[in-house]
Structure 1
Amino acid sequence: MSLKQTYKVTGMVVGALILIAVLVTSWYTVDESEQALVLTFGKAGDPVVEPGLHFKMPWPIQKVETLSKETFTLQFGYEESEGEIKNFPKETKMITGDEYIVLADLVVQWKITDPEGYLFNAENPKEILYDATSSSIRSIIGSSLIDDALTSGKAKIEGDVRDLLTNLIEDYDIGISIIGVKLQDVELPNEDVRSSFTAVTDAREMKNTKTNEAKKYQNQRMNEAQGEKKAIMSKAKGDKIARIEQARGDVAVFDKLYDQYKTNPDITRKRLVLESLETVLPNAEIYIMKDDGETLKHFPIRPMEGKAKADEKAEEKEAKADE
């Protein structure tokens, strides 16, 4: 084979290789869970998020970086692998606002929302996210009380950590968005401290329970006292009205007696004496005597009253028998 033919064959092979390279590198595929960034001589274009087969200029004019659209999970303070959990207590140890030591670990969910920022604004975005998470949780725990961190304040701590971490990531501009933050465990560093804190918590709960019971008893007794007060006041008002009415009746009777007294003083005086004697001595027989000591003729009033009452009872019995 001559040199000319050798060059010709070599050129055809190189051309074929170039053609194959152009054909191979001019197409790329984007999966449904992926997003692509096309770089033209290193300059990024708009992200490609539509799944399917796409055309581009051959390498080295354009190249494609493919990133996931799925949500990632950052485990801070522990690592779970194949069902086994490995803790990192040095990373999770922090001080609360009232100077207690606690261990706090959490999970951060995040995703890539700006491929260009994720690829070019930081050398290691995941490391920056981890450091920002550590800074956020330490800052929030450091301004929280131990009771809030261990009991009812976890939801607020989670929200504050998420807000602070979101602001930090936005300032760093590394193409990441925070989806959620979830505290896994917040606990005291050893068993002795946990036991002591539990005892203090139980004592506080007992104190609150007793205080609530005392307030309940106080309210009950106050309500009963108020009811008794109202009953006494109502009875007193009733007695007041009854006595006033009785006094008015007594005054009316006295006025009538006084009118009779002015008309017939002697007769009225004697009648009052007789009525008083009958009241003081209800079973006594009263006789009217003359001045010379003789007894005036009188009717046997009491036997007649007894007979009248007996007759009334007999009539009532007959009436019932007829019915």
Structure 2
Amino acid sequence: MEMSLKQIYKVTGLVAGAVILILVLFTSWFTVDESDQAVVLTFGEAGQTITESGLKFKMPWPIQTVEKLSKETYSLQFGYEEKDGEITEFPKETKMITGDEYIVLADLVVQWKITNPEKYLFNAEDPKEILYDATSSSLRSIIGSTEIDEALTSGKAEIEANVRDLLVTLVEKYDIGVSVTGVKLQDVELPNEDVRKAFTDVTDARETMNTKINEAEKYQNQRLNESQGEKDAILSRATGDKAARIEQARGDVAVFDKLYAEYKGNPEITKQRLILETLEQVLPDAEVYIMNDEGNTMKYFPIRPLEKEKPVQGQEGNAENE
């Protein structure tokens, strides 16, 4: 039995209504995980951004759609790619020139996250590519103003900080809805083994030079300290000698003053005394005699022999008894 046109319309209407009901039921709600954030689009235009997790409701498709983006922190690997524990390097991308015109290879990791889903979706066609190019530009700019010694040794921390500051500035300028949370410089090295060896030789020579300079400065300081000590000792001895000579001079003056006083009282006796004392000092081993010449007979009184003779103990007793 053939269906009438009315019945066909009725069945078609029922099917269409069922399809619409199913669309309404299955596209009027969505869930947001804790690690996600969502943007509700009304006819393709961004509207509300949802960051709280849970069950959410919206108008059915195609009126409203939902774009979900992760809240996690992403890692952008510049100059290499790591997959399944294997590292693939891209030396052409990492080759750059330092401020003193040396070629080095530099790679790094940029930590970033999506902070504005609407801008991330609509302000750029490929925000990741823009971030990659900004990273390359920032790193090349900083390496290009850094000398090779700093880039290979002690200047890596400063390079990281400068790259991060410049990259943050560029990302804010491009306004692509992402934020840079960290920059980690993985490695800065010379392009081949020969260049590395030559640079190592130069570095070793520089270290040897610095060591020799430090040793020479140490020896110089040691000799200066010793010389300063000798100088202080000489000055100290000179000061002591000066004080001793002054005191001796004062003593000599006092002795002279006493002799002069004696001389004023007894000039002849003092004169003879001074003559005898002077003879004893000038001729310490000479025999001194006091002589008196009367006529043809020379009588003298030997002083030194008498001084040398010592009386015997028994004779002293006899002399006393007598």
What is the TM-score when the length of structure 2 is the normalising length? 0.90
* Alpha-carbon separation, structure 1, partners of 2:224 and 2:241: 25
Deviation at 1:285, TM superposition (A): 5.0
Deviation at 1:118, TM superposition (A): 0.5
RMSD in angstroms over aligned alpha carbons? 2.0
Deviation at 1:295, TM superposition (A): 2.4
Q: Who is 2:132 aligned against?
A: 130
Q: Which secondary structure does the structure 1 equivalent of 2:104 belong to?
A: strand
Q: Contact 2:190–2:196 at 8 Å: present in 1 too?
A: yes
Task: Please point out which of 93, 98, 101 is paired with 2:100.
Answer: 98
* Alpha-carbon separation, structure 2, partners of 1:306 and 1:16: 162
Show CA shifts across 1:107-156 (max 9, x none).
Answer: 11111111011100000111111111111111111111111111111111
Closer, same or farther: CA 23–241 of 1 in aligned 2, 3 Å: same
Aligned length: 307
Q: Kindly indicate whether residue 57 of structure 2 is the aligned counterpart of residue 55 of structure 1.
A: yes
Q: Who is 2:261 aligned against?
A: 259
Q: Who is 2:317 aligned against?
A: none
Q: Who is 1:231 aligned against?
A: 233
Deviates more, 1:5-14 or 1:145-154: 5-14
**Which letter maps to 2:189?**
E
* Alpha-carbon separation, structure 1, partners of 2:144 and 2:30: 49
Q: Who is 1:183 aligned against?
A: 185
Q: Contact 2:288–2:303 at 8 Å: present in 1 too?
A: no
Q: Which secondary structure does the structure 2 equivalent of 1:290 belong to?
A: strand
Q: Which secondary structure does the structure 1 equivalent of 2:289 belong to?
A: coil
Show CA shifts across 1:181-239 (max 9, x none).
Answer: 11111111111111111101110111111111111111111111111101101110110
Q: Which secondary structure does the structure 2 equivalent of 1:222 belong to?
A: helix
**Which letter maps to 1:157?**
I
* Alpha-carbon separation, structure 2, partners of 1:297 and 1:226: 60
Deviation at 1:55, TM superposition (A): 1.4
Q: Who is 2:72 aligned against?
A: 70
Deviation at 1:99, TM superposition (A): 0.8
Q: Who is 1:294 aligned against?
A: 299
Task: Please point out which of 215, 221, 230 is paired with 1:219.
Answer: 221
* Alpha-carbon separation, structure 2, partners of 1:105 and 1:192: 21
Structure 1: gaps of 5 or more residues? 308-323
Deviation at 1:22, TM superposition (A): 1.0
Q: Who is 2:90 aligned against?
A: 88
Deviation at 1:283, TM superposition (A): 5.4
The 5-angstrom pairing of residues 3-82 of structure 1 reads 3-82=5-84
Task: Please point out which of 272, 284, 292 is paired with 1:270.
Answer: 272
Task: Please point out which of 158, 163, 183 is paired with 2:165.
Answer: 163
Q: Contact 2:38–2:66 at 8 Å: present in 1 too?
A: yes
**Which letter maps to 1:120?**
F
What is the TM-score when the length of structure 1 is the normalising length? 0.89
Using the aligned pairs only, state the percent identity. 73
Q: Who is 2:319 aligned against?
A: none
Closer, same or farther: CA 263–125 of 1 in aligned 2, 3 Å: same
Structure 2: gaps of 5 or more residues? 314-322
* Alpha-carbon separation, structure 2, partners of 1:284 and 1:306: 26
* Alpha-carbon separation, structure 1, partners of 2:91 and 2:149: 20
* Alpha-carbon separation, structure 2, partners of 1:76 and 1:31: 30
Deviation at 1:43, TM superposition (A): 2.3
Deviates more, 1:49-58 or 1:297-306: 297-306
Q: Who is 1:312 aligned against?
A: none
* Alpha-carbon separation, structure 1, partners of 2:198 and 2:287: 94
Q: Who is 1:200 aligned against?
A: 202
